[in-house]
Amino acid sequence: MPILATKMNEESDAVKPQVESKVTASVLDAFDLLKAPKDDVKLNGGSKIISQLQGSENEKDLKYVLKRLVRSLGANLPDMRTGYFATLVALLSNFEQVSVAQLLELIKKELHSNGSSKSEVGDVALGQILVCGAIFRSGRIFKCTSEEQAQVIQLLLNAGKKKSYLSTVAYLILLDFVKGVDEEQFGSVIWPLLKADFKKDIKEHSLDSLYFLMVISSKFPDKVKLRKLIGATEILCEDNIHTICEKIMTGIDFNTVGHPIYKEIATKMADSPHLQLFWTSGIDSQLVKHNRNRELVAVNMLTTILNNITENMEILPELISKNFFKLFMDWFKGLQTASKIRSKRDNEDDNKIMIKKQRELLNTLAKVLKSKKVDNSVQVAILKKMLFNPGEINFTEITGTTLVKSIISDLNEDGVKKMAKLFKGVLLNTSKKAIKEDVERNWYNNERVKAAELLSYLVSHESVKDDTEFKLTYMKLLMCFGFFKVGGDEAVTISSELSSSIKSCFYRCFTSRFSNVDNLVEVLSSLCGFICGILEKEQVRTKIEKQFPQENMECWELLMEVCQTIEKNDTKSKVDKVFLILLYQLGLFLFSEPTHVKIARSSIKELKSCYEHYRKGKKKKPKIVKEGDLSSEPEWIEVLVEVLLSILSAESSVLRSVVQCVFRLLWEFLTPSSIGQIVSVLDPESDSNPLTQDNSDAEDDENEEEEEGENEEDSEAETEDDDESDSQMEDDDEEDLKIPDQLKIAVQKALGAAAPESDTESIDADMIDEEEGKKLDDALAEAFKQFRHGKGKATKKDRKDKKALSDFRIRVLDLIDIYLEKDPSMDVCLGMIAPLTRCLEFCIQDNQFSELENRLRKTIKSLGKVRKFSSIDGVDMETLSEYLKATIDKGGRSHFLFQALGDVITFFATFIIHCSLKIKQPKSPKKVKSCPPFVNILKESLQSYFQNRNCMLPIIFFHNVLQTEWDGSYELVPVIIENIFNDNVRHFRRSEGLELLAGFYRSLKRNKPTTDKSLKNLLSIEANFESTLVKTLKSETEFAVKNNFFVLLKKLINTMKMFHESCNVESKLDFKAILDIVGSCKGSVSQINNKQANEKQNNQQKQNKKSKKNKKKRKLEQMNGHAEPKQKKIKKTSESE
């Protein structure tokens, strides 16, 4: 501990016994709070000291407190100084009798050092600075003599010179004071005392004095005459820039990195006309070699400049200066720098500090470049700096940012073409990579691949979407490298690795959707024609024949023959374009990896046969097949859909986008059977379900052999971009598919002939002898043993298969979404309900299908929102009733599974209701009230919800049904009214019934009833409600209710009243009388309720003790909102609305 602190403790111990009799004890105790680590406690201690002094008549108290506060500010305890400083400021503000002269005298006595310790000198000087700061903060500086003012400011400046780090503190305290005074006070009191110290050349200023001068010259320009002080009208003038840059960029340590002068200078230079000179000649010239602190200052200053720049946008490329950006990239590359071998603090990590700050800089640059003031030339110039010189073409990978693609996405057509020429030079190696001045080299292969990748990004750019010539130019260039290993000079050989990577970039050109189908056909046709021209060269054809099997070439010739036949048609129909797109695109995949080649070959052959079948059908009946017209022959479309599904099985984002493109063209030709083919792929119980096709064993070896080749050759193009369908592998301990079903199968195999025919039957143990029983035990034990061993051991192949299945089904869901975008057929939509539900059940039971589950729910929502249909043929009210009954039927589903499907069941039920509104009901004979069959189903379900404990339908189901705009809801309300006042219905179900009625009336407020039928039904419902309520509440029969029943009932009545008032709908209800009835009978009913409810509660507790199983079941039901809550309090209290 420093000598001063030790001496203070000794003096404190020695003085304390002498002053204890004179100084109030509570004042002494409050000083302990000032040492607390929390600011709240310190403030509490300071307020206690001030309040004690204000209420004390003992003069010794004030003298003691003042002396101790001044002395303690010089202690080597940073946490303690905060509390003592705040208390001293408060004391000076509240006690006018304490003079500045008295404080100066105390500083001389208490804050002095013996010079025996350097740290003691710094602590004492800091204490002096803080006392001066307290004088400033309290405003005492204006209440003393001019001589005392000069002493205080001189004391502050002298103390700041004792240590280098104290200078910053002194000027910051002085600056904090100056910012709070007006110009007159500054000119008359402060500036005359400081002026002499600032009248010197810029070179002689320190960072602190220069920063102070910059701030006060901006705040008081009329008082601070810079020309008389430094010989110039502004500090950051052209003549001073080099001097200032040299001053701020030399001698930087870790403590001065955050000095406020750097931010001040950067802010002023942002829109200065000297910005380019400041950065390129001033800052960049200081960054010749690595120095962590200097580079950190440069990064922080450039970030501040970018945050404040508004006018100098044309200077932005110059800010990416040569020296600065070279050192900037070195940190991202992880190169050894000079700062890595110096001594560092424990909490310093150069790499983390620099990388964090540099990423902040790049994010700020990205925001600036989004400004409308940034033109295309600036964007292109910045890209050149980043990607060529002084940057790297692999800038994105090195920095881990998306800045380059962000800038490219904002380019216009001219900018895209300029950048394409630059990347073409890299790919062809006609340009050179600059390393140093007059030192260049050829581009490396990985850099050429990056150029090809960026070219593919430019080809699919939005600004050139209709420029077919531009697209073809650069796609043919990529094709030469990728397909034929031919570069700018055919004599130059290209490695297979480079060729494969560039081939991936070529396929990536098709990932973006073409705005015009004709343009897509034109591009594909030109590319395939270009391939035919290249293959005519004997040297290239020989190379291709060595690379690919003869079957590929035969398939290519077959494809071109079919395409030429289609191209001969003067006017091409949509179907012709579909076949051209598919054939050309699959033809390009004949030069891809083996997996895609196999799919392409088989699909091309099927498409040829399909097109011939289509042409024959067209000659027989030239009319276009209409939606729902089953009399025509739809075989060709079914075959085509099968081909599309086969193509989707390949993990390729390109093929996925192609299938989506052609599927939109085929929409009007789709038939229910063809849509059924697509939906069946999603249905786990369908024969076409991928899980049921046991054909994976034959391809296991082939897939394993190809796996390595896929990763090396084309993994980037076919898997990296397919980000919508890709999902991460789950851990090895994931459960297998449908474990309960697997266990059931294993048990059935073990039972053999003894296995029951259905799940509801059981084995009669009396019919099995001892020997058979022993065999049965062994078989069952083995089944469970195998199940337990295999439970947590999902192999890599199993996980891969699950992922492939999930991704494939997600791609199929894309087709269903496209079909639902336009007006689909009602019978097709209804037919999707069951398969989609079964697929969702399948996903819920396995966590590895969570991504597919989310995607499936999205499609189900889209289906539920369909309101327009192209055809309603084959659908009547009986059909809708069957679909509704199948949808809400629990069937063999478990309790958990049915509840997990609650929202989906609700979507489908409301969808079926909307479908019913499109069906014209046959007119019924007069005086016979007709009720749709599915309304009766809903009424039965609603009755079961109130009466049956086993009803699993959620309350939101009935809320949505009642709030749907249809006349059937009026048929359901009487069922609710009947059960609300039924004493046999559980209490919480009655409360939910009141909520359902309130929701019904809120929906009426949104969908105001206007027809005579609706108004008549409403009057009938309200009359029924009034009669039932009055009959129940005024009868002498005991009616038990929960304590919140009447609260909800009053809310319901008020909701009904508000509906009639806001919508101006006539009502025969006397709402005031009804509310009076509810309030008047409430007290008598509650007395009966207390007794009955307590008896029911006791009976329930007895039943709970008898059966633990029932207790668990009720607990589960209560968690899911289906069990009666525990009755804690029966007495009801009236609440006024």
Task: Give pTM, 2 decimals.
Answer: 0.74
The pLDDT assigned to 950 comes to 85
The pLDDT assigned to 12 comes to 39
Q: Which residues pair with 436 in a beta bridge?
A: 439
The encoded tokens of residue 383 equal 């890209």
CB-CB contact of 464 with 458 (8 Å): yes
81: DSSP letter = H
| Polymer length of the chain | 1137
CB-CB contact of 196 with 153 (8 Å): no
Q: For 421-430, b where at least 16 C-beta lie within 10 A, e where not — what string?
A: ebbbbbbbbe
The pLDDT assigned to 580 comes to 93
CA distance linking residue 530 with residue 479, whole number of Å: 9
Q: How many helices (H) and strands (E) does the chain have?
A: 54, 2
The pLDDT assigned to 1021 comes to 92
Phi and psi dihedrals of 755, rounded to 5? -65, 135
CB-CB contact of 1069 with 1022 (8 Å): yes
Residue 592: closest CA among 670, 532, 674, 505: 505
The pLDDT assigned to 22 comes to 67
- 3-state SS of 947-1004? HCCCCCCCHHHHHHHHHCCCCCHHHHHHHHHHHHCCCCCCHHHHHHHHHHHHHHHHHH
Blockwise average pLDDT, block size 10, the chain, 1137 residues: 36 38 74 84 87 80 87 83 88 88 88 74 88 89 86 89 86 88 87 87 89 91 87 88 92 87 94 93 92 93 95 92 92 66 59 90 95 93 93 92 94 94 92 87 92 94 90 92 74 79 91 81 92 84 82 90 87 88 92 88 92 79 46 71 91 89 89 91 76 43 42 42 42 43 54 49 58 72 60 70 90 94 92 94 90 94 92 90 92 86 93 90 54 84 91 91 90 92 89 93 87 89 90 77 84 92 87 85 49 51 48 43 39 35
CB-CB contact of 463 with 411 (8 Å): yes
CA distance linking residue 134 with residue 140, whole number of Å: 9
φ/ψ bin of 334: left (φ > 0), alpha (ψ from -120 to 50), beta (otherwise): left
The pLDDT assigned to 808 comes to 93
CA distance linking residue 643 with residue 650, whole number of Å: 12
Is the bond into 690 cis (omega within 30 degrees of 0)? no
The pLDDT assigned to 694 comes to 42
Residues 6+ apart with CB under 8 A from 1068: 1019, 1022, 1023
The SS3 call for residue 188 is helix
CB-CB contact of 197 with 156 (8 Å): no
Calculate ∠ Cα 617-623-628, nearest 5°.
90
Give the helix, strand, coil percentages of the chain, each rounded to 5: 70, 0, 30
What is the DSSP track for 380-445?
Answer: HHHHHHHHTSSS-TTHHHHHT--HHHHHHHT--HHHHHHHHHHHHHHHHT-S-EEEETTEEEPPPH
The pLDDT assigned to 1068 comes to 87
* CA dihedral sign of residues 1041, 1042, 1046, 1052: negative
Cβ-in-10-Å burial (0-12, 13-18, 19+) of 859 comes to buried
CA distance linking residue 191 with residue 1048, whole number of Å: 74
How far is it between the farthest Cα atoms of the chain?
Answer: 123
CA distance linking residue 632 with residue 68, whole number of Å: 104
CA dihedral 35, 39, 43, 44 (to 10 degrees): -80
Q: Which residues pair with 439 in a beta bridge?
A: 436
The pLDDT assigned to 1081 comes to 66
CA distance linking residue 181 with residue 659, whole number of Å: 73
What is the DSSP track for 746-772?
Answer: HHHHHHGGGS-SSTT----GGGS-HHH
CA distance linking residue 224 with residue 258, whole number of Å: 26
Q: Which residues pair with 434 in a beta bridge?
A: 440
Residues 6+ apart with CB under 8 A from 1135: 1047, 1050
